[in-house]
Amino acid sequence: MDFALFLLSKAMVDKIRYIRHYSGISVMPVYFLKNFNFSFMPGFKQKHFVWVLLGSCFMGLFSLQGFSQTTTDRKFIVVLDAGHGGSDVGARGSFSLEKNVALAITLKLGKLLEQTQPDVQVVYTRTTDTYPALYERAALANKVHADLFISIHCNSMPYHRVLVGHRYVKRNGRRYRVPIYKMVRSSSETGTETYVLGLHRMGQKTQAIESEMEADSNDVEARENAYIVHEKNYQQNYGGFDPSKPETYILLALHSSAYLSQSIAFADSVEQEFKRIGRPSRGVKQKGLAVLAGTAMPAVLIETGFINNPVEEKYLNSDAGQLEIAQCIARAIEKYKEAVWKYRSLVNTVHESFAADASAAPVYRIQLLVSSHYYSPNDHIFQHLDMPVEVEDTTINEQKLYRYLTGHFLQRDSAERKLDFIHQIGFKDAFIVTYQQGSRIDP
């Protein structure tokens, strides 16, 4: 499927509807949550729904505002994050460390983007052997209003249990034969995989944060989040990441609603590029990764290969291998960027169309009375109205008069229904008047 059509169908048609207000270009994207299942959210109450709705509208406005810019407004901003760093070495190979390989690939990718895609601005979370906290990496991407966040890592082959023998133990005077297992690494794992934020795995976040797990743990989610416990004030910095709180699910639900489809589209393109050069692809997957959860833009984490697979470790450390990986990611960025430019152009067209329609459409108002006496809009004679009153100056037969009007209606039948109520509360001479492009059409 064409990228632009994917973005349009997912982020625009399925999730966004436009509400035209009478006053010019007032266009609000509303995320409809009728198909959203809140039953999996522990502790979720009805009162939280309003926060979901308000937050959805806010994020919709934020993301649409970015999409409504033309290609000439600014460059396409890509934040490149080299995973781990400093004292967090990441996964270990026989002669190399993940932090160093990830940084080398990241720097090659950044240089390649700057040389081949001049409309891309590259921002790095680190360019040396340092460790920015995970929340700081996401915060940087948000600060520069990035269009895409890419975290680059190396994978680690998982341990599995192998039966190596048996032993006998005594229990309650009886001897029992029990197995002896040894944890060994798989020797067959190979290939790439790209992760997007997965809401369904957030229930395991507490264990990942609260326990110091080995950097080469079996679970990608646990391994990539494990170093959080070494960060200063990590409980405060990641306090909002508590899966026991409904607010966490709300924020992650909003993130998924606003950016998940775009993240998946880009992640799939990355994996397709890896397949194209013959790299084994393990596909696009979802995990509850802290570095992705804080971003306010499409975001992915790319596992470029298994550093403790001897064959892949040599490839990951070679200049040719690193350049090949960088070229794959760069091609995916270029395809995604072009799709976003198309999408922004489509949104601009929609905005312009709505603006023209809104300015040309008639607006119906109700004139309450005309008087030579000036009444304040807050005067007691208007106290039973449930809409604000506006005053217009006019001159009739060289006499200055004041018109008192209320309401703005896009449909005449809506104005007529309100007029019946206004007659009932005492404004017997009230009637409907029509305005178009700010000018009164009726006498």
Q: CATH number of 3-353: 3.30.200.20, 3.40.50.1370, 3.40.630.40, 3.40.50.620?
A: 3.40.630.40
CA distance linking residue 286 with residue 190, whole number of Å: 19
Domain boundaries, the chain: 3-353, 362-440
Q: What percent of the chain stands above pLDDT 70?
A: 66
pLDDT, tens digit, 9 for 90 and up, residues 28-50: 333 333 333 433 344 444 444 44
pLDDT, tens digit, 9 for 90 and up, residues 183-201: 777 767 899 999 998 754 4
- Reported as a pLDDT band with limits 50, 70 and 90, residue 317 is very high
Q: 362-440 domain in CATH 3.30.70.1070?
A: yes
Q: Which of 104-113, 308-317, 379-388 has the lowest average pLDDT?
A: 379-388
Q: What is the pTM for the complete model shown?
A: 0.59
The pLDDT value recorded for residue 294 is 79
Instruction: Say if residue 57's pLDDT is above 80.
Output: no
